[in-house]
Structure 1
Amino acid sequence: MNDSDEGTGHAARSKRADARRNEQTLLDAAAAVFVTSGVEAPVRDIAARAGVGTGTIYRHFPTRADLIIAVYRHQVEACAEAGPALLASSASPHAALRRWINLFVDFLVTKHGLAAVLQSDDAGFDTLHAYFLDRLVPVCAQLLDAAAGSGEIRSDLEAYELMRGVGNLCIGADSDPSYDARRMVELLVAGLGARVSEP
């Protein structure tokens, strides 16, 4: 291989890395806008947050469904990677669990929008739901085990049950402005505390 080939290969790798970073920036911006404004938020709002033109978003994601599905996968991966990182950086396993549940709530806002977008494609939604469970249930279980092991929460909790409970508390938040899903989830997490032995 001559120097010119090596230079071309390096340029191609750099271009791919730049494209991945740009896509991550778009997905981060879209996720933030979806959390505050819903999945029907104008593309121009996402573009403005990402600091790009709307054409850039359409080049990466030709349809709104493409964008929402990409954000969904992006958030699943972010939640999955956040679990171990929060355990390593938080003051306690219970604090890590609380912070992770907050990320999970943000994700659920987008997930509800996804269901509406894919309602005509049950197979596609089922595949994404299975991916979500495969990636996030083990992470939640790791956080629960750590918090239970430190004596901060009760030890008879199942990750899927907790995630399902959080999900149920988030349903309806978009249709009732007076309903504070985050407060309800905070109360649920506070109620996970270790049982006090009867005298």
Structure 2
Amino acid sequence: MSPDDIEENGKKKAEPSVEINGLEETADEVEYEPIGEGDTIPEKKDKAGLRPHGEEEKGLKHKLKKKEAEIKTLKKDHDELKDKYLRKLAEMENLRKRFERERADYLQYALNEFLRETLVVLDNFERALKTSDQADGKSFQEGVELIYRQYLDLIKKKGVRPIDLSDKKFDPAVQQAVLTEESDEVEEPEVAEVLQRGYWLQDRLLRPSMVKVLVPRKREGS
């Protein structure tokens, strides 16, 4: 003990005291727990509570690598989808060209087949004309009627049929009035004469019938 620790009256000076939880303890009475091998020193932070710059940079680099991996995956998916789209587009274009080619071939060969069949009718007309001088009127007429029926059978096979005119009522949907005539014998428009026959192609109108129509005569004062 140094002389400074002893007052002039010979008494020892009081030890400095530490106040803990409202109790005063001297410095000699305060116990300090040593740091063991398994204990960790609390991480030091700056006044704002942030980690040191080195660890923050490490975390940012980790996030950056993660985002780069995500971008790489998205780019790969994009390239795969683009490749599939281009392949499908090429397939559709090839199918379209193939369809157009087959359609053109079908129409060409279908027309060729029809024309080949009509040549038979043309041959019969030529034979009839060659023998017209030698045949009488009745034989010639029978020959023409035979060719006519032959041609009707041919177009029926292709779905062409004449419009039925058994009902004399005028139907503007399938008939075209070329001539009209007033009459006291009809109360509504009525077909008087067929000038040119109309035809159906399957269920569609191929051409309307050209007809002469009788219409009711207008009454005076009406």
Which has the larger share of helix? 1
TM-score by structure 1 length?
0.27
Which has the larger share of strand? 2
